[in-house]
Amino acid sequence: MELTATYSPEDNKLRLYSSARLDTETYSRLKAAGFSWAPRQQLFVAPMWTPQRADLLMELCGEIGDENKSLSQRAKERAERFENYSENRAKDAENARKKVDAIVEHIPFGQPILIGHHSEKRARRDAERIGEGMRKSSRMWDTSKYWTQRAEAALADAEYKELPDVRARRIKKLEAEQRKQERYLTHARKALTAWSAEGVTQEQALEIAGWANFYLPRKQGDRPDFHQSPSASTALDGSYPSLYAPRSLAEVVENGKICFARSAEYHERWHEHFTNRIAYERAMLGVQGGIVADKNAPQVGGACKCWASPRGGWSLIQKVNKVSVTVLDNWGNGGDDFTRTIPFHKLTAVMSRAEVDAAREAGLLAGECPLGFFLRSKPSQAETVSEPSQPVQEEPKVAQAPAIPSGIQTPRGPLPQSQQELFKLRPGQSQKRAIGL
């Protein structure tokens, strides 16, 4: 039996390929470690990388290679499987409908069930078969649409994960996890140094256990019906003699060395893993050309598009920080403007200060205010500079009798004839009184 283990940095998953059926013990170990069997792909897959899962695959296979299939290739294969499911369910729906048609074509239109007739039992069976067939056809059509949507979602998800801004956000999360592992690693190394010091006394051990505590393994003499292990501070001060057998100072110190040596190694492996993942994601981001802020660096006085920008417009950049920009926003309820800090990876477009100044001079900025502006494709007629034309001599106006309109005009057009009757002057009533002025 040949076993092959692979790791993919794109989805951070471990996979195990087997040429034959695994024995019961190996299968149980894989299930306990979090691996699950993927029948369509014929492999075992773990949802994410961990040191324990990597050690298990190293024990079974000897090495962990690179995954040959990319995330997009797997998404295409998955979409093809979903499309096949959809086609099969559509065929089932069509077959169910044809069976219903075969039953219905022998029944005259509008023929009721004849109570007491020899055909009553058959007519009732046919009615049940027709109803069940129509329900099955409807279910199959719904299932077919479901798998079609799943196929589209599989491709869309793969494309979404490869977007530069999504990759940049993933890098931010990985860097946060890396910093957390750095803190854990620093604490483990500090605790290992403290427990490894020469001539640790009882008082010093209690002080160390106050900030670098750990649990000791159970031993003969511990209460059998109490399954919790004693901590280092509990073993040193002997606060629960009825639950735990006494531990010597040398025993506590030795277990402290073992515990924090393992902890330092564990967090060091996590730190190395995140370092490699960050390097991979940054390399892929560089191949894609980086995010918007990498292609056009934000500047004070420039503009950007983000979720806080006016709808369809641009926000003026008030300040450029190390990894973010500051823009103004307003709730639109008459209150004062306030600032928002937008990270670089959440910017969808950036204009430099020179580009904003050039657009302003060309008359392309509409509705400019401290918050931002809207960008026109061409200057408005009011701002277009034209050559001066010759003044036109206006003819003197002659007073004319006011023309009586044929209808009453409103912002929505002329009033209907039925409503115009309400505004007709009554005998002895002025025009202003007639229209309610």
Q: What pLDDT shows up at residue 76?
A: 77
Residue 326 half-sphere exposure toward CB, CA atoms < 13 A: 9
**Among 349, 219, 362, residue whose Cα is nearest residue 296:** 349
Confidence of residue 387 (pLDDT cuts 50, 70, 90): very low
Orientation of helix 51-61 relative to helix 249-287, angle to 10°: 90
Distance CA 363, CA 377 (A): 10
Q: What pLDDT shows up at residue 110?
A: 75
Are the C-beta atoms of 123 and 112 separated by less than 8 Å? no
Tell me: pLDDT of 429 over 60. Answer: no
Find where tokens 């058959």 sit: 122
Find where tokens 């029944």 sit: 107
Residue 231 half-sphere exposure toward CB, CA atoms < 13 A: 12
Q: What pLDDT shows up at residue 415?
A: 56
Stated pTM of the model: 0.68
Tell me: pLDDT of 413 over 80. Answer: no
What token pair was written down for 422?
Answer: 């309400």
Higher pLDDT, residue 199 or 333: 199
Range with lowest mean pLDDT among 16-25, 164-173, 272-281, 388-397: 388-397
Are the C-beta atoms of 327 and 319 separated by less than 8 Å? no
pLDDT tens, position by position, 120-162: 787 788 788 878 888 878 888 788 887 788 778 877 877 888 8
Range with lowest mean pLDDT among 21-25, 73-77, 85-89, 397-401: 397-401
pLDDT tens, position by position, 189-207: 999 999 999 999 999 999 9
Confidence of residue 421 (pLDDT cuts 50, 70, 90): low
